[in-house]
Amino acid sequence: MSTTTALASLGERGVVARIRERFSGSALPSQDLVVGIGDDAAVAVPARGALEILTTDGLVEGVHFDRRFSSLADVGYKALAVNVSDIAAMGGAPRLALLSLMLPEATTLDELDALLDGFTDMAAEARVRLAGGNVTRSTAGLIVDVSLLGAARPRRILTRGGARPGDVLYVTGSIGAGAAGLGWLRANAGGGAAQPDSGMAECVARYRRPSPRARIGAVAGRTRAASAAMDLSDGLADAVAQVAEQSGTGAIIDAAALPIHPAAADWFARNGLDPVRAALEGGDDYELLLTVSPRARGRLRTLQQQARGVPLTRIGEMTRDRAVRLRRDGYDETLPTGFTHF
């Protein structure tokens, strides 16, 4: 069978068989999957003594991705990564995924394989097993919708509402890279010859294949190093506002402390944007915002030791006063609000 065959000629069963075959030899942990792909539903043995964490997030062609900017392998990778990020933000560990594919009729086997390659890469990194899914035709673009089941121990959950005044705000990694990478891709969409320099190449890679902070989230939950957490899918400003609102506190962020990716800061400045605001507002950063109680300093050190080189940067503090502010050069500004998908 030619790999450029349109899937329409394979039929739904053929597509499911292909997916099943791709995942059957997988080296992923079994996670006690009693029944996998190919029955009415999947069956799994629950993680012992754990709570269930459930999330769903999807990528829609023309809304969340553009084939000129991302390969289908990148799309498959990111569709799972954004869900892994949500589980990490609850302090849990991901376990089992359901993959719902809505495919344009012209989709080829090569394209399906690329998508599954990327998905498998992320699954292997995050130790996620594919439990099942659904394949159907799309009347428009490609849609990759993923649901993810994770586990966390009781009383080790990190909600958005657990922060207290005086807790210190930390962010993992760096911010602004996703938005800058997408900005560069948009600006260079026409000219195929343009090559990003090494800093921008990092931003583009971060946009295409974000690294969810699975380990940091799981350790922050398990060790109770954090009092609250949220991922930065809609930007840091949005995350701070949400955590403050749900915790019934305010927050103050120190602009000078923000770990803005240097190539992103450059890119924003060259495009006439304020790097601080652009990095705060930019979506597509799958970093974590964590709040840490002053009494948890010891646990924070343990977390930092286990972060495998990913920096945890102190960026501000939760306040009793319910305002959410950005302190810059001694003046307070209102924090810009985040990204919305409509």
Footprint of a copy of itself on 126-165 (CB under 8 A): 131-141, 143, 145, 147-150, 152, 157, 159-161
Angle at 154 between CA 132 and CA 94, to 5 degrees: 30
Distance, CA of 277 to CA of 275 (rounded, Å): 6
* 186, amino acid identity: R
**Of the two residues 12 and 266, which places its CB atom closer to a copy of itself in the complex?**
12
Alpha-carbon distances of 311 from 58, 59, 167, rounded to whole Å: 28, 28, 19
Q: Tell me how far, at minimum, the Cβ of 243 lies from a copy of itself, in Å.
A: 10
Amino acid at 247: S
Among residues 28, 60, 201, 310, which is the contact residue for a copy of itself, using CB under 8 A? 60
Alpha carbon distance 38, 22 (integer Å):
13
As a whole number of angstroms, the distance between CA 251 and CA 320 comes to 8
Q: Which is nearer to a copy of itself, 195 or 340 (CB)?
A: 340
Nearer to a copy of itself, 13 or 186 (CB): 13
For residue 287, the minimal CB distance to a copy of itself (Å) is 13
Q: Which of 3, 21, 26, 62 binds a copy of itself (CB under 8 A)?
A: 62
Tell me the number of residues near a copy of itself by CB under 8 A.
72
State how far the Cα of 136 lies from the Cα of 113, in Å rounded to an integer: 16
Q: At its nearest, how many Å lie between a copy of itself and the CB of residue 173?
A: 17
Could you say whether residue 4 binds a copy of itself (CB under 8 A)? no
What is the pattern of x (binds a copy of itself, CB under 8 A) and - over residues 170-209?
----------------------------------------
Residue that is written with structure tokens 């289908």 in the block: 72
Measured distance CA(245)–CA(161) in Å, rounded: 8
Alpha carbon distance 63, 24 (integer Å): 32
Q: Name which of residues 67 to 86 contact a copy of itself (CB under 8 A).
A: 85-86
Residue nearer to a copy of itself on the CB measure, 308 or 341? 341
CA 202 to centroid of chain Cα atoms = 16
CB 100 within 8 A of CB 58: yes
Query: Could you tell me which stretch among 8-16, 112-120, 203-211, 264-272 binds a copy of itself (CB under 8 A)?
Result: 8-16
Is the Cβ–Cβ distance between 124 and 40 less than 8 Å?
no
Q: 102 is written with which tokens?
A: 């809505």
Q: What are phi and psi of 229, to 5 degrees?
A: -155, 155
Residue 290: count of CB within 10 angstroms of its CB:
29
Tell me which amino acid residue 178 is: G
| Closer residue to a copy of itself, CB minimum distance, 35 or 257 | 35
Contact with a copy of itself (CB under 8 A) among 64, 206, 208, 209: 64
Nearer to a copy of itself, 8 or 201 (CB): 8
Buried b / exposed e along 68-87 (16+ C-beta atoms within 10 A): ebbbbbbbbbbbbbbbbbbb
Taking residues 218 to 257 in sequence order and writing x for each that binds a copy of itself by CB under 8 A, - otherwise, the string is -----------xxx--------------x-----------
Give the three-state DSSP class for 127.
coil
Contacts (CB under 8 A) with a copy of itself, residues 253-312: none
Question: Cβ 168 to a copy of itself, closest distance in Å?
Answer: 20
Residues 96-125 that bind a copy of itself (CB under 8 A): 96, 98, 100, 102, 105
Task: Quote the least distance from Cβ 17 to a copy of itself, whole Å.
Answer: 12
| Window 35 to 54, contacts with a copy of itself (CB under 8 A) | 35, 38-46, 50-54
Residue 92 beta carbon to a copy of itself: minimum distance, rounded to whole angstroms? 7
Taking the CB of residue 191, how many other CB atoms lie within 10 A of it? 7
Nearest approach, Cβ of residue 186 and a copy of itself (Å) = 17
